[in-house]
Structure 1
Amino acid sequence: MIYPRKLQVWLIDDSPADRALAEEAFVQCRADCNLTTFASGLDTLTALHLPGVVLPDVILLDLQMPGMDGFEVLKVLKEQELVQYIPVIMLTTSQSEQDVQQAYQQRASAYLTKAVTFEAFLAQVKSFVEFWVKAQLATRL
């Protein structure tokens, strides 16, 4: 029997509070995955090229960040052969139709608006992990 490795999730978000909430949500929903967080797109892009890096199975990307915003990070990710096919999910507070369209035009895999309450965010994280764990299992069969 093949046992899948733990799902590798990278979260890119400039907000320390949002990163901490995500870490807590992943713990509380007993997510069978490894969550790695980054404070900026530049930190993420640097980590991609470190020796021995474990590449993510899926990336959660905030849109509104100083320096490189989410669209700029997405553009660079989709141009790099190493990670261009890794699904990138925009995770943001923006509900702008223009932002949604731009994300999909730049090849985001999905666009998810951050839940307002922690309980709702916890439910989002649980659904997200369940979906991607099943997707990972399906690709390994």
Structure 2
Amino acid sequence: MTVRRPLRVLLVDDGAADRELAREVFDQHTDHVTVDTCASGERALSFLRQPDTALPDVILLDLNMPGMSGFQVLDALKHEARLSIIPVVILSSSSLPQDVEHAYSLHASSFMTKQLSFDRFVRQIDAFVSFWLQARTTHYPR
């Protein structure tokens, strides 16, 4: 039997309320998910570039952030060998077709539009966790 370590998620979102809401939903999965958060793209890249950082299994990335946009973060991630293999899921309030197309052109793994109602957001994150627990290929210990 293979024992799997918790799914590691990095949430990058400049909105404190959005980070807190996501944290509340992820707290329902604490037995099999760990979440780190960063409030900016610059902070996320700095965190990921630390040699002792355990890389996440998946990154949830907001697009509309001051300073470095989610598009710029995604582009930077995909141009660094160590970071380019991390799946990046866009979680944005935008559903504009040009934003979706641009994200996929930069090799986003998926694009999710943030659900506005709390119940729908909970279901959205539950589905995200279920999918990525199955989709990741990393096994414990590592």
Match of 1:121 in 2: 121
Match of 1:24 in 2: 24
- What is the distance in 1 between the residues matched to 2:31 and 2:111? 21
Match of 1:42 in 2: 42
Match of 1:11 in 2: 11
Query: Quick one: which amino acid aligns to residue 83 of structure 1?
Result: L
Contact 1:29 1:125 in 2 (8 A): no
**Sequence identity, in percent?**
46
Q: How does 1:24-103 map to 2 (within 5 A)?
A: 24-29=24-29, 32-103=32-103
Unaligned runs of 5+ in 2: none
- What is the distance in 2 between the residues matched to 1:59 and 1:43? 13
- What is the distance in 1 between the residues matched to 2:108 and 2:50? 24
Match of 2:105 in 1: 105
Unaligned runs of 5+ in 1: none
Contact 1:41 1:70 in 2 (8 A): yes
- What is the distance in 1 between the residues matched to 2:91 and 2:31? 18
- Alpha carbons of structure 1 residues 139 and 54: separation in structure 2 relative to 1, 3 Å: closer
- What is the distance in 2 between the residues matched to 1:51 and 1:103? 27
Q: Secondary structure at the match of 1:119?
A: helix
TM-score, length-scaled by structure 2: 0.93
